[in-house]
Structure 1
Amino acid sequence: MARFDVRRETSLPAEVAWGRLTDWERHGRFIPLTTVTRSGHGVRSTFTARTALGPFGFDDIMDVTAWEPPSGDLPGRCRIVKRGKVVAGWAELVVTPTPSGSVVHWLEDASIRHTGRVLDLPSRLMSRVIFGRLVDGLLDG
């Protein structure tokens, strides 16, 4: 699996950063050729990221298995399990309050099914760039 992480410090309060990062539909604004739809909110909700160019594409189906928004001085944590036919794995988002705002940590371990480990390195490098831009874009508003 291709494991990567993205860390960012922001002046946004943890609750605001959390709200922006877990607004799943907005993710499509920052990931090329992708639209996101969701069903429900919080734990046990599902969302789908559809990446396509014309008629060719795939659905990245994800289930939220943990949902603990930040509260006061306590960090927030969200865990997502990817169960699509193309992408498998998990992601975890942690937003920790700090005196000057918050720290965001996005950790993901995902792979393209049926490819073995051959795509792990390029996938890890590409994902770090794409998700870095995603987190930056979401935090910037």
Structure 2
Amino acid sequence: MARFVLTRRSPLPPSVCWERLTAWPRHGERVPFTRVTVARGTGRDVGDLVLARTSLGPLRVDDPMEIVELTAPAPGRDGLCRLAKRGRPVRGGAVLRVRAADGGSEARWAEELRITGLPRPADPLIAAAGRLVFGRVLDRLLEP
């Protein structure tokens, strides 16, 4: 399983950082050929489904992610969103955290990915691509 962790500091308060990090459709703005939508619910509750659909010509890969844990940040409490990947080609999950830090926020994105059909020796390449792509997403979401 490919694993990576991203951490970013932001001058934004935790509540704003959280709102941006859980604005699911904005995630697709920096992922090539990908559109992110809320496929079930509002995207703000446990059990809701977020769908990342990557399309290139006739090829399409869906990455449905169920929100299995969700706690917004509050004074003295970190924000936490745990996503479980429920698709066939992409398995694993992600954990997004937001905490108050130095007058702003710290956002942490940890992900584990297994892509069906790719051998385990490809995991370091998948992790490197994940750090690059999702790092861009995180940077864009947290721009002041």
Q: TM-score, normalised by structure 1?
A: 0.96
**Residue ranges of structure 2 left out of the alignment (5+ in a row):** none
Aligned AA (1:81): A
The one of 100, 103, 108 aligned to 1:105: 108
Which consecutive aligned stretches of 4+ in structure 1 deviate over 2 angstroms post-superposition?
Answer: none
Work out the CA distance in 1 between the residues paired with 2:107 and 2:30.
Answer: 17
Retained in 2: the 8 A contact 1:112–1:119? no
Q: Which amino acid aligns with 1:27?
A: H
**Where does residue 135 of structure 2 map in the other structure?**
132
Q: Does 1:123 align with 2:126?
A: yes
Are 1:25 and 2:25 an aligned pair? yes
The share of aligned pairs that are identical, in percent, is: 40
In 2, Cα distance between equivalents of 1:51 and 1:10: 29
Equivalent residue letter for 1:24 = W
TM-score, normalised with respect to structure 2: 0.94
CA distance in 1 between counterparts of 2:35 and 2:46 reads 21
> Over the residues paired in the alignment, what is the CA RMSD in angstroms?
1.1
Q: How many residues are aligned here?
A: 141
From 67, 72, 75, the equivalent of 1:64 is 67
Structure 1 spans left out of the alignment, 5+ residues? none
Of 93-102 and 111-120, deviating more is: 111-120
> Does residue 92 of the first structure (1) align with residue 118 of the second (2)?
no
